[in-house]
Amino acid sequence: MSTKTNVHISLEQAKLLVEYIESDQQTKANELIAEIQSPINSELFEEIGKLTRQLHDSLNNFQIDERLNDLATADIPDAKERLNFVISHTEEAANKTMDAVEAIFPVVDGIQKQISTVNPLWQKLMHNDLDVVEFKALCQDIDVLLKTTEKESSKIHRLMTDVLMAQDFQDLTGQVIRKVIDLVREVEESLIYMLTAFGMSSEKNKSDQLPKVGENLVEGPIINSENRQDVVSGQDDVDDLLSSLGF
């Protein structure tokens, strides 16, 4: 624009301007000045006009786009509820599984104990080194062992079925999470549309930025450790790092 600031006005224009001012025709004088400057202004005005139209259209589109409103007021709160459902169901499944496992532990320990009671005499029997009294005792022990094992294995079987059934959360939470992923995709598309409408390029900022970390760099589980240089990929890496620090 700097070249255009040197625009000269013609003598004719200058005379006319003086005439307008002298005859107190301020409006006409202003118009004349605008005309003299018009090469600059017409471009500028045209550009501002274009931008204004774009902005107007964009804003109108947003008002029309009720989907965006639905996303914010209905879908996202619904998604929060769904994700809470996932938390509570996985927690419930984990607890049901641990209930069963914790009930199995003592049962197995009990059987193990009885086996170690039977074992010394059994070994003696196997080496033909058992007297009659011991044989009777062994028979008693084996009898107890058989009875408990029979009873306890059906208990273990029942508890294992509980563990099995506790895994049904995967189907339900899988479906719920898939729905939330669809929603996230839709929100992403809307946001990209918004950025584009306002003339901001989403690609420009798409550099491989790391996710935001919280206090103390907290980020939670890393799901793409193979693509990251700043994280360890397992316990071995941790141990190597610590030993390199003199641990």
Partner 1 sequence: MFSPEGALDKNMKVLVVDDFSTMRRIIKNLLRDLGFTNISEADDGNTALPMLKDGNFDFVVTDWNMPGMQGIDLLKAIRADSNLSHIPVLMVTAEAKKEQIIMAAQAGVNGYIVKPFTAATLNTKLDKIFERLG
Which residues make up the interface to partner 1 (CB under 8 A)?
91, 94-95, 98, 101-102, 105, 215-222, 225, 230-235, 238, 241-242, 245, 247
Measured between alpha carbons, how far is 82 from 175 in angstroms, rounded to an integer?
A: 10
Of the pair 192, 222, the CB lying nearest partner 1 is at 222
Of the pair 46, 240, the CB lying nearest partner 1 is at 240
If one counts every other C-beta atom within 10 angstroms of the C-beta of residue 13, the result is 14
Query: Quick one: which of 104, 138, 103, 146 has its CA closest to 122?
Result: 138
Give me the least distance between CB of 80 and partner 1, in Å please.
17
Of the pair 171, 215, the CB lying nearest partner 1 is at 215
Of the pair 164, 241, the CB lying nearest partner 1 is at 241
Of the pair 21, 241, the CB lying nearest partner 1 is at 241
Are residues 7 and 36 in contact, defined by beta-carbon separation less than 8 angstroms?
yes
Q: Indicate the length of the chain as a whole number.
A: 247
Handedness of CA 167, 171, 176, 177 (dihedral sign): positive
Give me the least distance between CB of 233 and partner 1, in Å please.
8
Measured between alpha carbons, how far is 148 from 143 in angstroms, rounded to an integer?
A: 9
Measured between alpha carbons, how far is 114 from 148 in angstroms, rounded to an integer?
A: 9
Give me the least distance between CB of 169 and partner 1, in Å please.
12
Give me the least distance between CB of 216 and partner 1, in Å please.
5
Give me the least distance between CB of 42 and partner 1, in Å please.
57
